[in-house]
Structure formats: structure tokens, C-alpha cells
Chain A
Amino acid sequence: SQQGEEDPQALSIQEGENATMNCSYKTSINNLQWYRQNSGRGLVHLILIRSNEREKHSGRLRVTLDTSKKSSSLLITASRAADTASYFCATDAGSNYQLIWGAGTKLIIKP
């Protein structure tokens, strides 16, 4: 069963705009991770935020975590065509070394 649910399922914006995607989950977690998948490729780790953290930055990426609402958001600022990809959140609930994955948000950056 999938723990994470991303919202929206798809997002299309103009290059230079900011993109925000959200992830909700159901159980308590140790950490939440965001991954990117370019079309036809494997997933690439973007950022990890632990349950005791509220916000984390990496370059143009900003991730927030609200454990009371069981939700996270990924903000990509000043989007570029190369950001076109699917973005997945994955939660680590600390059991059996597994990550539980959401269905992803498909982001399209229009030139």
C-alpha cells in the first residue's frame, strides 16, 4: 500500500516560475525523501528531511515538513526546462529498511 500521496498529479508551468508539489502520508515517520525521475530513467535522490526538522534547502530546492499534518512540500524556485521530470516523495517509517512511495507529480516546464 502506498503511504505517500502527491498533489497535484501533474503540473505545467512556464520556465522561470516556481513549482510547488505536496506529499501527504499516513503514519509517523523517521524521515521523508524526495526523488526525481527523468523520463525513462532511474530515480535520483534530491533531499532528505528528518522528522525533527521543519525546513531544508538544497540549491533551488526547498522542502518543508509538517508532522502534525503529516505533509511535506517541495518547492523548486526559478524553474528550468531541465526540471521537467516526475517527482516522488518516499517515507521512512523505520520498519524493515523500506521506503514507502507516493505515485508522483509529473512536472512540465514550458520554455
Chain B
Amino acid sequence: NAGVTQTPKFRVLKTGQSMTLLCAQDMNHEYMYWYRQDPGMGLRLIHYSVGEGTTAKGEVPDGYNVSRLKKQNFLLGLESAAPSQTSVYFCASRPGTGKETQYFGPGTRLLVL
């Protein structure tokens, strides 16, 4: 099993450009999460999903949108990138209720100029 994979690994955007980050998991997990990690800080939750077709806002959702059309994929979109969105983005998945461990992808490093 590949676990949780993220595409791309690294991207440079200009202010105002858009992009989509893809997260895929092959563990049949119900829950999926998008986090951002900034220097000296812990993870902050952007959006999450508790099942196919569902999404919900986390702590820092502004400027991001998500979709979970298929159970194995969770997409994070930036419609109009801003320098404040320069960060490392991590996707995670979790089996479901009663199984609390989260499994992380390797991260996507995003630089917005």
C-alpha cells in the first residue's frame, strides 16, 4: 500500500494564480484532513471530510476550498493565491470512528510570490 500520497511535492505560484493540491489514500479511510504547517507552529486544520461527498471547515479555511468526490481523494484548491498561503501543506487520513490515529502524506511545499 502506498498509504497517503500528495501531488505535487513542490510548487511556486504567483499571487492571484490558482492551483489544486491532490491527496490520495489507498487505505479505505473515512476521514481526511488538510493542514498547513508554518515555521515554529503546529499544524492548523484547513478543512476536513468525514466521508465521501462531505466537507467541513477547520480552523483556517479562508482562501481555500475542498472537494471529496471519491472516498480515496481529497482535493484542496486555492482560487487566488496570496503570499500568506506560502506554507507546507499536509494531508492526513483516519480510518473512522473509534480509530483515532491519523496517517500523514509527505507534504506539499508551496511558495507564493
Say which residue of A31, A44, A96, A101 sits within 8 Å of B43 (CB atoms). Answer: A101
Count chain B residues whose beta carbon lies closer than 8 angstroms to a beta carbon of A.
Answer: 25
B45 within 8 A of A: yes
Produce 1/0 per residue, B3-42, CB < 8 A to A: 0100000000000000000000000000101000000111
| CB-based contact B42/A45 at 8 Å | no
Tell me whether B101 and A42 are in contact (CB under 8 A).
no
The answer to whether B45 touches A44 (Cβ under 8 A) is no
Q: Name the contact of B56 in the complex, choosing from A35, A48, A96 (C-beta under 8 A).
A: A96
Contact B101–A103 (Cβ < 8 Å): no
Interface residue from A33, A48, A97, A104 paired with B42 (Cβ < 8 Å)? A104
| Cβ A43 vs Cβ B42 within 8 A | no
CB <8 Å contact, B45 and A98: yes
B interface with A by C-beta (< 8 Å): 4, 31, 33, 40-45, 48, 50, 56, 58-59, 90, 92, 94, 100-107
